[in-house]
Amino acid sequence: VCVLGIESSCDETGVALVNIPAQGLPVLLAHALYSQIAMHQAYGGVVPELASRDHIRRVLPLTEEVLADSGRSLADVDVVAFTRGPGLAGALLVGAGVACALAAALGKPVLGVHHLEGHLLSPFLSADPPQFPFVALLVSGGHTQLMRVDGVGRYQILGETIDDAAGEAFDKSAKLLGLAYPGGQALSQLAEQGNPKAYKLPRPLLHSGDLDFSFAGLKTAVMVQTGKCAQAQGCAGPDLPPGVLADLAASTQAAIVEVLVKKSLTALKQTGLKRLVVAGGVGANRLLREQLNAECAQLAIKVHYPELHLCTDNGAMIAMAAAMRLQSGEQAATQTYGFDVKPRWPLDAITA
């Protein structure tokens, strides 16, 4: 059984084809991705209308690329999956519309997938896939959650951010330092040359005793600290000497990562589980991976990540999540191709 997956929730158009074997995990046959980041950089963030229009331009050529790369044709597609939410409504509608039109033309069923379930299950595409149950740290541009995951569709949220997401904290801090949107990866690269102890920044909710996060205050602290440095140097924040910028970046990254690591360990302790899955764009962060690996190794806890290039949005994770849902008994819709999208959609609202 072949599943075509289409992702269009934000500023990446992703298409992928996975095969569901008689036994074992679904296998990725091919995937293709187009990132709109360069287009949105001029505006300092994602412009929803431009995102929708660009998804329209990209989605069919990417689909053709995936079919060609996998040596398959549309006739081989058994189920068409798409990201149903959460995300930008207009952007989601492009993927949903194309998926349902394709399915209708082919006479094949469709399946709407939760974007965060895609992130969550993306480590199953790696060479070292996890096993259920596990604790999941979902750290993306729009979400920061700790979850207990007992199987496909069996998600219990243990804690989440009460304001900004971790990726957002990276991106907003990066912007203060003059780095281009989305900035998280650039900030972490800049941090490699800096001293993480140069500036004392808050670790919000570190000792709150629960598993919630808060990053808005940290962003403000970065703004205040950057302003102080800039005043001392008599320049604007982004024009600070490279060494100062690197120290600010390293101090910011250290604060975010320390909170993520500490809370993940608390979640593992509370649940008694011995497996941690990290997913979402911030899961690509090197310091986060190093510190989690080091801490978890001491506790005999196994940590699983998506492959680096599958941490941020992609079609492979959507096709994979659909395939795993089909494997666990979900029926794709065959009769009607009327569709809707869910711009707001909590992950624990879906079931097995």
The annotation places the binding site for Fe cation at 115, 119, 313
- Binding partner of 204, given Fe ion, Mg ion, ligand ATP, none, CB within 5-8 angstroms per partner class: none
Q: Are strands 110-114 and 79-85 parallel, antiparallel or unpaired?
A: parallel
Which residues between 209 and 248 bind Mg ion (CB under 5 A)?
Answer: none
**CB closer to Fe ion, 212 vs 313:** 313
Angstrom CA distances, 292 to 52, 94, 268, 286, 300, stand at 37, 37, 12, 10, 12
d(CA 338, CA 101): 10
Residues that bind ligand ATP (CB under 6 A): 10, 87, 115, 119, 140-143, 167, 170-171, 182-185, 188, 280-282, 284-285, 312-313
Q: Cβ atoms within 10 A of the Cβ of 235, count?
A: 13
Minimum CB separation of residue 141 from ligand ATP in Å reads: 3
- List, as residue ranges, the binding site for substrate: 138-142, 171, 184, 285
Could you tell me the two tokens for 137?
A: 């740290």
Q: Mask of contacts with Fe ion, 35-64, x by CB under 5 A?
A: ------------------------------
The answer to whether the bond into 133 is cis (omega within 30° of 0) is yes
**Per-residue x/- track, 134-173, Fe ion (CB under 5 A):** ------x---------------------------------
**Does 313 engage in binding with Fe ion (CB under 5 A)?**
yes
Alpha helices in 235-344 (DSSP H): 242-271, 286-298, 315-327
Whole-angstrom distance, CA of residue 183 vs CA of residue 225: 18
In this structure, what DSSP letter does residue 126 have? S
Is residue 117 a contact point for Mg ion (CB under 5 A)?
A: no
Give, as ranges, the residues between 245 and 274 that touch Mg ion (CB under 5 A). none
- Tell me: does residue 11 bind Mg ion (CB under 5 A): yes
Q: Are the CB atoms for 83 and 92 separated by under 8 Å?
A: yes
Which residues contribute to the site for Fe ion (CB under 5 A)? 140, 313
Which residues contribute to the site for Mg ion (CB under 5 A)? 10-12, 313
